[in-house]
Copies of this chain bind each other. A is one copy, B any other.
């Protein structure tokens, strides 16, 4: 058996401690699978005195993650600090400069600095692995980078923020408003310190941008991800979409089109009976479509100590086994600059609006839609509530641009009350 693989683990939150625990409890199993002992040399966290419910006495302690990254007895620097900048980034840079391989769960750092870090690592002959950064325990980075490497990837889709999916499914099942469930989620500790990372789609957008880079051989382009959170989703829309056979998900979609790379992390309607539509609670799902393989669906826990530590361990074992795959599946220098598509590919849309109780109201709206080239697939008008009646429309394929044009003309019809709503329908 070869030399032990020696780890320095920076960040001892739930994932860090989860990783330590697996290394302690499964040492023999991991050694058998990795072909060598995997050993923790040193650990680091902000507060040494904190009670962590794990015995760390066998490991050297560093207050400074950079010092940890530079230790001579560390082969792999395991970055579980988090945050796009600051300590995590400085320490990863130091680790690469000191000739260490890096395992990280840090989607924000990679979304912003992935290209530079990948180039630095490759120049130093080191690898950066980040299975834990995307969809927790689901081995999706590996599936895309390795398992489906024979495919030209057509599309990557997914529900990749468990908190948003929890909020949306809880709104539906309990009939509660967004604000009420948001507050519940806050109290349950499901939300990040900055909740916009979750409900604004930023966290999920980070993940999507990393998968897109692998899928399409392009540089990570998080800034080009079209982001829209779930804050404007109403219980009304959840119910009405249900009536039409759909569920609302915060859905990431990345696809290469003739007009460039499309990356969206936005609320979408998906068929209620599709795998994505049936996804409940905090579970994640990623759908990958390749030219040879067709559609592959991966489902599992997207967060939590165990699942995320499972992903961290997979990367560590890969390194122990000698796997040296490029960060994004091909040499960083060969990644093409992403050319963002200026508009999304056409899709059916769900429209909801309130029409006043006047003869010909629906005809006027239909006329405007028709003049903007939007054709109607299905329509449903409900009974009048107060002075207006809710109307739901499922369109045939159309662009968001056409809908925006039509919506701009609706006030002039004099029959639409309040703001109309449009949500894209994504079908598998």
Report A's interface with B, CB cutoff 8 A: 18, 22, 26, 29-30, 32-35, 131, 137-139, 142-143, 146-152, 217, 273, 275, 278, 290-301, 304, 306-307, 309-314, 316-318, 321-326, 329-331, 334
Contact = CB atoms under 8 A, between A and B. Distances in A.
A146 B317 contact: yes
11 contacts: A139-B148, A148-B310, A148-B314, A149-B317, A150-B310, A150-B312, A275-B278, A292-B307, A293-B301, A294-B307, A296-B299
Contacts of A298: 296-299
A143 B142 CA distance: 8
A291 B22 CA distance: 10
A293 B318 contact: no
A310 B292 contact: yes
A137 B292 contact: yes
A307 B300 CA distance: 22
Given A142-B143, A146-B142, A321-B325, A292 B22 contact: yes
Contact of A33 (B309, B310, B330): B330
Given A300-B294, A306-B292, A142 B152 contact: no
Q: Which 3 A-B pairs have the closest CB atoms?
A: A150-B313, A139-B147, A137-B293
B296 A138 contact: yes
A322 B318 CA distance: 12
Contacts of A150: 22, 26, 30, 309-314, 316-317
Contacts of A326: 35
Given A149-B314, A309-B150, A330-B33, A300 B301 contact: no
A217 B32 contact: yes
Contact of A149 (B33, B152, B325): B33
A363 B224 CA distance: 69
A310 B293 contact: yes
Contact of A292 (B18, B317, B321): B18
Contacts of A318: 146
Given A309-B150, A310-B148, A137 B294 contact: yes
A76 to B, nearest CB: 14
A310 B151 contact: yes
Given A294-B301, A310-B293, A324-B322, A131 B149 contact: no
A87 to B, nearest CB: 25
Contacts of A33: 149, 329-330
A321 B146 CA distance: 10
Given A275-B275, A298-B298, 17 more contacts: A32-B331, A33-B329, A137-B148, A138-B296, A142-B143, A142-B147, A146-B314, A148-B314, A149-B314, A273-B278, A290-B310, A292-B306, A292-B309, A294-B301, A294-B304, A295-B300, A299-B299
A32 B29 CA distance: 34
A309 B149 CA distance: 11
B29 A152 contact: yes
Contact of A32 (B275, B292, B330): B330
Nearest to A214: B33
A324 B324 contact: no
Contacts of A321: 323-325
Contacts of A304: 294
Max count, chain B CB within 10 A of own CB: residue among A273, A318, A325: A325
Nearest to A317: B149
